[in-house]
Amino acid sequence: MKCLLLLAIFVISSALADYPLYIDELGDLVSKEDERQLDILEDDEYTQRSQLKTQFDAILARQSPAVQTAYQAIVTREENERTMKEQSKMQRYQMRGVGSVYQQILSIEGDLSLSESQVKQQIRDLISFIFSCSLADYPLYIDELADIVNWEDERFLERLEDDYYTPRYEILAKVEEILARQSPALQAAYRALVANKENTRAARVAHMLRQHEMRGTADIFRRILDVQGDIELSQMDAKKLIRDLKSRLY
């Protein structure tokens, strides 16, 4: 498997209504003019939400006490619902081993210094970082052998590399059979090439693990590595497991 699944598009998955601004809730209670101004604020994806909140608070402040009271009652109810949903989701995600990721998503969502566009981009970046493993051809290293054998063996290795359904330990055994019939010099060259790849990979894994530890996503990264290195799995099964791991973030 040459690379792990990169999640390219990720939208905010916590479904927490209009948190943290709750603009719609006021729009239903005010005059047409104020409602139009609120619509403009709600559609603004590029201004810092702290600035949007300042403008929103100014609109709220000029409403009658009755409207303000009604609005606060709505927000209180929605906040209570949001808190319950958030706690329920956190419990599920913690059971799945991705609680720290969900907590980071919540932190991004609640950061008023960010625009709506920045919120979405930071969440995409977070999920992409988790799945951007791309650690060469580990654990089979078929390409590396195909580059130095004769044409017939190269074709056979290409078929092995394209086999998505056979357990990888069986594919690895066939690779070893092909390697065994090569000259000692070629075997030594291949072993040296793989050793160099493994050293490079080990350094990369260590570096990425430190990054994931700082982000609180080390557990997920380790699980991805486990799936990637499990030669009992076919390439197709490994991809399915990684897709399943990805789906647990929703």
- Please check whether residue 1 lies inside any domain of the structure: no
91 and 188, same structural domain? no
- Please check whether residue 137 lies inside any domain of the structure: no
Cα distance between residue 135 and residue 3, in whole Å = 6
Looking at residue 11, what is its pLDDT? 36
Looking at residue 215, what is its pLDDT? 81
Give me the number of domains the chain comprises: 2
96 and 53, same structural domain? yes
Cα distance between residue 46 and residue 121, in whole Å = 12
Ramachandran class of 138: left when φ > 0, alpha when ψ lies in -120 to 50, beta otherwise: beta
Q: Is 188 exposed, middle or buried (0-12, 13-18, 19+ CB in 10 A)?
A: exposed
230 and 153, same structural domain? yes
Pick the closest to residue 5 from 139, 131, 129 (CA basis).
Answer: 131
Range of the domain at 225: 142-247
Looking at residue 82, what is its pLDDT? 87
What are the per-10-residue average pLDDT scores of the chain (250 residues)?
Answer: 34 50 93 96 95 97 97 94 84 71 85 92 76 59 90 92 92 94 93 88 88 83 87 90 66
123 and 181, same structural domain? no
Cα distance between residue 190 and residue 46, in whole Å = 53
pTM of the model: 0.58
CB 248 within 8 A of CB 94: no
232 and 160, same structural domain? yes
- Among residues 73, 102, 131, which one ends one of the domains? 131
- Among residues 72, 105, 131, which one ends one of the domains? 131
Contacts 24+ apart (CB under 8 A), 189-197: 189/148, 190/144, 190/145, 190/148, 193/141, 193/144, 194/141, 194/144, 197/136, 197/137, 197/138, 197/141, 197/144
Pick the closest to residue 119 from 52, 204, 58 (CA basis).
Answer: 52
121 and 193, same structural domain? no
152 and 98, same structural domain? no
Looking at residue 97, what is its pLDDT? 64
